[in-house]
């Protein structure tokens, strides 16, 4: 009888048993998972690093289920760099800190004004940080935001992740991850934008909460100015990242509003040379549904054509306001310089050195094509 196959099978079984162990493991009661990281400016060129961690419990600590407690815990230290401060945090924690689960990085506006490149360098070099971590700029101190609460969310990081998803329906903010910020700073194809986080009080409970509305625009790696929700919407339309929004038109008679759901946007930016000066064309295609009619307007084909024309004019005006902001502050948020570099490489060789002086005077032509797809099966309003 040949026993060789039996011996091989037994050896494989023994190897599988030994390979199921967790190498380099940490026991549950020895770790603390970091959810949110906040960075603030301190005196003497130092920073303050504040973290939100979950309170992990094991079977021996509680009669309830193993896992996360609902109430977060906060730790804070100062240091000369993020890496030094992160190491110093270990002196305040009896558990090993796990950075790989951090979903949100909040940087204060005061710190961002001095430049953020040096803080993202360590995030790229160290394998402990997650590349998909969402990045935000706080108008107040970043650490103060960790003391607020977002309704129905135990941790600030999960709440912020839900708030930034509003981009899909409101186009009032823009999701930016750690890897996207780092790549923008390295490639320099266009100027950087990072979503703004604001702290406010809930009207009924008077509790402090946070919201994400608008963007902070950067010149290089330094925070330059705030871009409000209206300009943010036009910016997202121009870069093909506005999947949904809301627009309203006033009724001609009587008073009231017609509300439209902006269901789809597509834009195309092209350039031509007029002599030695570039001229840009932004062509925008937007689809709308009629969702609310507060006046006695009959929804006929003629009325739909009038509405489409009025929407064209409104979106064009909004885009012009965004371009005025962009050129007034000399912020190339659309990557116009890179576009000219690709489409007119020879001309760009002479423009590149003086592009900072040329950009505020570049001519923009805006063409908007609005299309109303659905009227909710009604030819009249509900009144």
Mean pLDDT of 6-18: 75
Quick one: CA dihedral 79, 224, 241, 290, positive or negative?
A: positive
What does the longest C-alpha to C-alpha distance in the chain come to? 99
Mean pLDDT over residues 19-41, rounded? 75
Between 322 and 1, the more confident residue is 322
CATH fourth-level superfamily of 229-383: Nutrient germinant receptor protein C, domain 3 (3.30.300.210)
Kindly give, in sequence order, each residue whose CB lies less than 8 Å from that of residue 83, ignoring residues fewer than 6 positions away.
122, 126
Spatial CA neighbour of 191 closest among 173, 168, 215:
215
59, pLDDT greater than 60:
no
Q: How confident is the model at residue 383 (pLDDT cuts 50, 70, 90)?
A: low
Work out the percent of the chain whose per-residue pLDDT is above 90.
Answer: 54
Q: Note the pLDDT tens digit of each residue in 201-221.
A: 888 778 888 888 899 999 999
> How far apart (Å, rounded) are the C-alpha atoms in residues 308 and 312?
6
Contacts of 158 (CB under 8 A, 6+ apart): 35, 103
Q: Where are the domains of the chain?
A: 29-227, 229-383
Which range of 130-144, 204-218, 359-373 scores highest in mean pLDDT? It is 359-373
Q: Phi/psi at 286 (nearest 5 deg)? A: -130, 135
The pLDDT of residue 1 is above 60: no
Length reported for the chain: 383
What is the model's pTM? 0.86
pLDDT at 90: 84
> What average pLDDT does the segment 223-249 reach?
94
Given this model, what pLDDT does residue 64 score? 45
> Considering Cα of 134, then 124, then 182, then 82, what sign does the dihedral take?
positive
**247 neighbors 311 (Cβ within 8 angstroms):** yes
Distances (CA, A) of 50 to 107, 141, 145: 11, 11, 10
Distance of alpha carbon 252 from alpha carbon 147, whole angstroms = 48
- 210-248: buried (b, 16+ CB within 10 Å) or exposed (e) per residue? bbbbbbbbbeebebbeebeeebbbbbbbbbeebeebbbe
3-state secondary structure 155-189: CHHHHHHHHHHHHHCCCCCCCCEHHHHHHHHHHCC
pLDDT in tens, 140-169: 899 998 888 777 677 888 888 888 887 788
pLDDT tens digits for range 107-124: 999 999 999 999 988 888
Instruction: Tell me whether the omega of the peptide bond preceding residue 164 falls within 30 degrees of 0, making it cis.
Output: no
Predicted local confidence at residue 29, as pLDDT: 67
pLDDT of residue 26: 60
Indicate if the pLDDT at residue 4 is higher than 80: no
Q: Which residues on neighbouring strands pair with residue 136, listed in sequence order? A: 106
CA separation for the pair 303, 360 (Å, rounded): 39
Rounded distance, CA 316 to CA 322, Å?
Answer: 10
Range 34-60 average pLDDT = 83
Query: How many H-runs (helices) and E-runs (strands) does the chain carry?
Result: 12, 15
**Per-residue confidence (pLDDT) for residue 200, from 0 to 100:** 85
> 297: pLDDT confidence band, cut at 50, 70 and 90?
confident
3-state secondary structure of 127: coil
What average pLDDT does this structure show over 186-213?
A: 88
How far, in Å, are 63, 133, 147, 186 from residue 179 at the CA level? 41, 8, 27, 10
Write down the pLDDT at residue 65. Answer: 46
Average model confidence (pLDDT) for the chain? 86
Question: Which pLDDT value is given to residue 70?
Answer: 56
Q: Is the pLDDT of residue 185 over 90?
A: yes
pLDDT, tens digit, 9 for 90 and up, residues 67-101: 555 578 889 999 999 889 988 988 887 787 888 88
């Amino acid at each position: 009888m040949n026993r060789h196959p039996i011996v091989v099978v037994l050896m494989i079984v023994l190897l599988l048993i030994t390979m199921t162990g967790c190498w380099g493991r940490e026991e549950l009661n020895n770790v603390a998972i970091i959810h949110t990281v906040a960075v603030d400016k301190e005196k003497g060129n130092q920073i303050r690093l504040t973290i939100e961690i979950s309170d992990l419990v094991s079977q021996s600590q509680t009669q309830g289920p193993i896992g996360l407690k609902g109430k977060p815990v906060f730790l804070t230290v100062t240091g000369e760099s993020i890496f030094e401060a992160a190491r110093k945090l270990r002196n305040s924690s009896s558990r090993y800190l796990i950075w790989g689960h951090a979903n949100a990085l909040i940087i204060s506006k005061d710190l961002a004004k001095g430049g953020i490149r040096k803080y993202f360098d360590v995030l790229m070099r160290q394998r402990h940080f997650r590349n998909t971590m969402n990045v935000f700029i706080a108008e107040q101190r970043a650490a103060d935001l960790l003391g607020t609460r977002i309704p129905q969310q135990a941790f600030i990081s999960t709440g912020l992740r839900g708030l930034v998803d509003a981009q899909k329906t409101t186009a009032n903010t823009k999701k930016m991850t750690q890897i996207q910020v780092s790549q923008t700073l390295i490639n320099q194809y266009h100027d950087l934008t990072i979503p703004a986080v604001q702290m406010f009080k809930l009207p009924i409970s008077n509790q402090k909460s946070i919201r994400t509305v608008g963007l902070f625009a950067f010149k290089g790696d330094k925070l330059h100015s705030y871009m409000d929700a209206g300009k943010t919407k036009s910016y997202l339309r121009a870069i093909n990242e506005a999947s949904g929004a809301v627009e309203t038109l006033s009724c001609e008679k009587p008073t009231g509003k017609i509300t439209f759901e902006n269901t789809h946007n597509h834009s195309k930016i092209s350039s031509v040379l007029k002599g030695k000066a570039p001229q840009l064309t932004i062509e925008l295609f937007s689809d709308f549904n009629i969702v609310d009619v507060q006046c006695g307007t009959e929804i006929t084909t003629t009325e739909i054509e009038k509405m489409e024309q009025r929407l064209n004019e409104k979106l064009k005006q909004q885009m012009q306001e965004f371009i005025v902001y962009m050129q007034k502050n000399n912020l190339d948020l659309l990557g116009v310089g890179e576009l000219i570099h690709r489409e007119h490489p020879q001309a760009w060789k002479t423009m590149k050195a003086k592009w900072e002086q040329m950009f505020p005077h570049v001519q923009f032509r805006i063409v908007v094509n609005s299309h109303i797809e659905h009227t909710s099966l009604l030819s009249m309003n509900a009144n």
